[in-house]
Structure 1
Amino acid sequence: MAFYQRSTLSTNLVATLMILGLIRFSFVECRRKLLFESYAAYPAINCRKHTAFLTEFGGNGDGITSNTAVFQAAVQNLSQVADDGGAQLVVPPGKWLTGSFNLTSHFTLFIQSGAVIIASEDAEEYPVVEPLPSYGQGRDGPGGRFSSLIGGSHLTDVVVTGDNGTIDGQGSIWWKKFNRKKLKSTRPYLIELMYSNQVQISNLTLIDSPSWFVHPVYSSDIIIQDLTIRAPVDSPNTDGIIPDSCNNVKIQDVRVVSGNDCVAVKSGWDEYGVRFGVPTEQVIIRRLTCNSPNGSVIALGSEMSGGIKNIRAEDITAINSQSGVRIKTSPGRGAYITDIFVDGMNLQTMDYVFWTTGSYGEHPDLGFDSRALPVVDRINYRNVVAEDVKMAGNMGGIDNDPFTGICLSNVTIGIGTQQENLVWNCTYVSGVSSNVIPEPCDVLTEKGPSDCEYPPDAIGIDMVELKTCSFSSV
């Protein structure tokens, strides 16, 4: 039998400051020791030399005691071995209540099976930060943003994973405040990593985020896979995964039930996004399953003012959702949505299969330039099967700025009993089609190629091979 090693933390003096209610940890040095107990292995972009358990920093998994200071202290201590092989912080089985905390570079947060990180309902546990520069204000209103539950900025090589551990955002209290217009700042997101590269988020169950679930922004080289994301279908703005001004992203084997778009590709809002000028590009979405009656399976926009380019989607499944792929933009957004490739959608009980909107609205302020018109071009869909659909396509562009280069091939849509008056509606769009049932609008006439384009080459992130990492637990 093979022997496995894990790092343990030598015991340092832990001073409890009762008056201030703070726990201060001196740096904990890591050493390795042979163990014979249970062994866990998992795939990750990089493995770590050092291992620590949250309990070694005084964590209490009773679901009542706040662990915010414990998480913060654990990350701070382990950041000191970033240049010595990095560290993994293991969250063991239990209910770990916490407010906002940030991660560090060359670091893995591993949430074990039976472990639940529970978001505090106390707004004081989420410091308010400045709006994103590409948005100009908070997405929920003109104020700032409550910090995300799990965050980080300017990081390299960071992993949030587990063996199907859970992160519970306890979003209902935030949804009520939002619906009652009681918030001056944007609700927390569940996981948000900014200005970072080499990011992995995987093998977890995420439930009831206060707003967006997984939001990488201004980041690159991102793998998001093997996630289950759940929120009530009437919860406001609980989008599942939102790559925002990001490059080289893989979203794979993800199941989403939410109150809005399952995957929403974004890149900044009106003049702020134009000025910031960072697009989202080189994204592959594969084996996504979606259930969202108030949202799209995949949305492009509406905040797309830095540009969206080269987005691929394969093997997409949805039931009881608003639309398959939706393009959302309007005058004032500027930039472009182009080189979009979809191959293989299986849809059941939908309002629309294809939906493009050139009049989405929702501007951050009155400073937008209505002459900043978006370019929407080269949009390719092929091998689509849908049943129980109200309307095959609701395709609207912008007057004097039509959406062009739309291609549909090998599409079969079954219209349900609750169909709309029109099966297709096409305004300010143009393109071609081949083998589409029911027959589309005249502007998408039957004169296209037998197969719409889909790139044969892989994007960079698809070439990354994960390593097998491990730790032992008592």
Structure 2
Amino acid sequence: MARGSGDVSVLEADVEAGGALETDEIQARIDAAAAAGGGRVVVGPGVHRTGALRLRSHVELHVEAGAVLQFVPDPSLYPLVDARWEGAPATIHQPCLWASGAEDVSITGSGTIDGAGDPWWDAYRAGTLEHPRPTLVGLHGCRRVVVRDVALRRSPAWTVHPLLCEDVSIRDVSILNPPDSPNTDGIDPESCRNVRISGCHVDVGDDCIVLKAGTEETADRVACENVTVVGCTLVHGHGGVVIGSEMSGDVRNVVVADCVFQGTDRGIRLKTRRGRGGTIEDVRVSNVVMDDVGCPFVVNEHYFCGPGGREPVVSDRAAQPVGEGTPTIRRVHLAHVSARRVRAAAAFVLGLAERPVAELSLDDVSVSFADDPEPFVPAMAEGVEASVRRGVVLVGCEDVRLRDVRLVGCEGSPLALERASGVRVFDCTADGKPLSDAELSVI
């Protein structure tokens, strides 16, 4: 962080939760630090109520321990900006903390940034918002971004959304949104390059960490690539680490390692559909422990959520013509994964007939099932029903290797195949017995 004469600017505490808005004062200090060539704006202990703020190049916003930067949920305090909403171009309310085209931007400190999302969620459910909700931290077209140590709470929508950014570091951040809060993903790098996420605790109402790359409506297809997720605890989300469904610009070169998933609906989750196009490739997952998850590993190329997801072409299991809108998933590898108290299935892969999921491997994967699980739908696609204790389900796959996969407590066939070719099984067991045969299963 380059520092100039703007370093250090300190805001005194506002101990009254209903105190006056400090938007103008905070923004003026950020602008003054930037004008001086860079600096640090420190938010001191106490409650500081504000509307949307714009971060600037070479400025660090530091929220001290005991400080709460609280965003007032009044739509008039969040001007409209052009960005993306769920991967498509849109006019949205400006993020609570927003930077656009900036470099060397930092948000740090042991304090709390509170999005006060409850009224936003209520308005979304009631359908009374004219424009999409603000994200809590929106970083658009920025370089050298750091988000570190802060506690992020009650985001109106996605919590941390770097879009078209390069060199992003998000570490030791705690994110907490209620489990029933809508679309409150934790960390959503979209069309970003060189992203490092480490040491974060994420407990949210949607996917915990999700990589995206725009939809078919995005004019410029920019990949999300070179991403590491290391040493994170991921709790209660719809997915632990997720790719898609917005991936028209490709997602590649992804490493997930040394993480714990607790109570997530799905663990590693890849989702897309016809029309999106794009390629997911070179994904490696290792040293991950999961507990109380619905399904540890899901690949779904018939994902039906979002605009256009209910079109017949999305759900059709028959082969369709291959074109620019045909997605590709290949070279995905899981190793050294332990999952306990699993509900629906050990793994569930639903690929396209015209372009199967290719070069998939599971190595040293141990799965045991819950004693009396509630039925759970492993993949959000037409025709996929809730299930319990299924083994490894492979539909629409080619060149698959299972090595040292151990299943305990599954019901029915431990390995169900449909339109699956080149499946190789080495040293795998179900309840201690060798896994040598598979039966046809119609999904």
Fold shared per TM-score above 0.5: yes
Q: Residue type matched to 1:339 in 2?
A: D
Query: Does residue 110 of the first structure (1) align with residue 62 of the second (2)?
Result: yes
Q: Matches of 2:140 and 2:149 in 1, distance apart?
A: 21
Does residue 149 in structure 1 map to residue 105 in structure 2? Answer: no
Structure 2 contact 153–175 (Cα < 8 Å) conserved: yes
Please say if 1:385 is aligned against 2:331. no
1:301 lines up with 2:253 in the alignment: no
Instruction: Find out whether 1:180 has 2:180 as its counterpart.
Output: no
With the length of structure 1 as denominator, give the TM-score of the two structures: 0.78
Partner of 2:283: 340
Q: Is the 8 A contact 2:100 2:140 kept in 1?
A: yes
Q: Distance in 2 between matches of 1:96 and 1:80?
A: 23
Identity of aligned residues (%): 28
- 2:248 and 2:137 map into 1 onto residues whose CA distance is 23
Amino acid at match of 2:8: A
Counterparts of 1:131-280 in structure 2, within 5 Å, are: 131-132=83-84, 135-138=87-90, 144-162=91-109, 164-272=110-218, 275-280=219-224
Q: Secondary structure at the match of 1:276?
A: coil
Is 1:76 aligned to residue 31 of structure 2?
yes
Q: Which residue of 2 aligns with 1:428?
A: 396
Q: For the residues of structure 2 that align with 1:145 and 1:356, how far apart are their CA atoms?
A: 30
1-structure distance, mates of 2:361, 2:271: 18
Q: 1:109 to 1:185 in 2, by over 3 A?
A: same
- Residues 1:127 and 2:79 aligned together: yes
Contact 2:118–2:156 (Cα < 8 Å) also in 1? yes
SS at match of 2:231: strand
Per-residue CA deviation, residues 380-419 of structure 1 (Å, 9 max, x unaligned), is 1000001000111121111212111111000000111235
Kept in 1: contact 2:183–2:205 (CA 8 A):
yes
Point out which structure has higher relative CO (alpha carbons under 8 A, 6+ apart): 1
User: Which ranges in structure 2 are unaligned for 5 or more consecutive residues?
Assistant: 315-322, 374-387, 408-413, 429-443
Aligned pair 1:285/2:229, yes or no?
Answer: yes
CA distance in 1, matches of 2:193, 2:5: 29
Aligned to 1:412: 366
- Is the CA contact 1:101–1:151 (under 8 Å) kept in the aligned structure 2? yes
Task: Give me the whole-angstrom Cα distance separating, in 1, the residues matched to 2:10 and 2:102.
Answer: 21
CA 1:170–1:441: 2 relative to 1, 3 Å = same
Task: Give the aligned length.
Answer: 391
Distance, in Å, in 2 between the alignment partners of 1:136 and 1:78 is 34
Find the residue that maps to 1:178 and give its secondary structure: helix
- 1:69 is paired with a residue of what secondary structure? helix
Question: Against the structure 1 CA distance between its residues 321 and 363, is the aligned structure 2 distance closer, same or farther, given a 3 Å change threshold?
Answer: closer
Q: 1:434 to 1:318 in 2, by over 3 A?
A: same
* CA positional deviation for 1:50: 3.7
Letter in 2 for 1:80: A
1:107-154 C-alpha deviation (Å, 9 max, x unpaired): 11011000000011111000122243994444xxxxx21110000111
Report the more deviating stretch, 63-72 or 373-382.
63-72
Q: Which of these residues, 67, 83, 104, is aligned with residue 22 of structure 2?
A: 67
- CA separation of 1:136 and 1:290: change in aligned 2, threshold 3 A: closer
8 Å CA contact retained: 1:137, 1:364: no
**Which residue in 2 is equivalent to 1:471?**
none
Hey, what's the Cα distance between the residues in 2 that align with 1:134 and 1:213? 13
Deviation at 1:53, TM superposition (A): 3.1
Aligned twin of 2:270: 327
Secondary structure of 1:73's counterpart equals: helix
Counterparts of 1:48 and 1:352 in 2: how far apart (Å)? 51
Aligned to 1:456: none
2:214 and 2:347 map into 1 onto residues whose CA distance is 27
Contact 1:151/1:191 (8 A) holds in 2 = yes
Residue aligning to 2:11: 55
* Equivalent pair of 1:343/1:383 in contact (CA under 8 Å): yes
Counterpart-to-counterpart distance in 2, 1:105 and 1:351: 43
The root-mean-square deviation of aligned C-alpha atoms, in Å, is 2.3
Change (3 A) 1:193 1:448: farther
CA distance in 2, matches of 1:54, 1:80: 16
The 1-side partners of 2:5 and 2:83 are apart by 36
Contact 1:269/1:364 (<8 A) preserved? no
Matched, 1:89 2:41: yes
Q: How far apart, in 2, do the equivalents of 1:382 and 1:297 lie? A: 16
Query: Contact 1:435 / 1:446 at 8 angstroms: preserved in 2?
Result: no
| CA distance in structure 2 between the aligned counterparts of 1:151 and 1:266, rounded to whole angstroms | 19
Distance across 2 between alignment mates of 1:377 and 1:80: 48
Tell whether 2:353 aligns with 1:399. yes
Q: Structure 1 residues 78, 242: CA separation in 2 closer, same or farther (over 3 Å shift)? A: same
In 1, Cα distance between equivalents of 2:308 and 2:332: 30
Amino acid at match of 1:284: T
Q: What is the CA-CA distance between 1:437 and the residue it aligns to?
A: 1.3
CA distance in 2, matches of 1:238, 1:134: 12
Give unpaired runs (5+ residues) of structure 1: 1-44, 139-143, 451-474
Kept in 1, the 8 Å contact 2:271–2:300? The answer is yes
Q: Distance in 2 between matches of 1:361 and 1:344?
A: 31
State the distance in 2 between where 1:61 and 1:336 align: 51
Bigger Cα displacement from structure 2, 219-228 vs 439-448 = 439-448
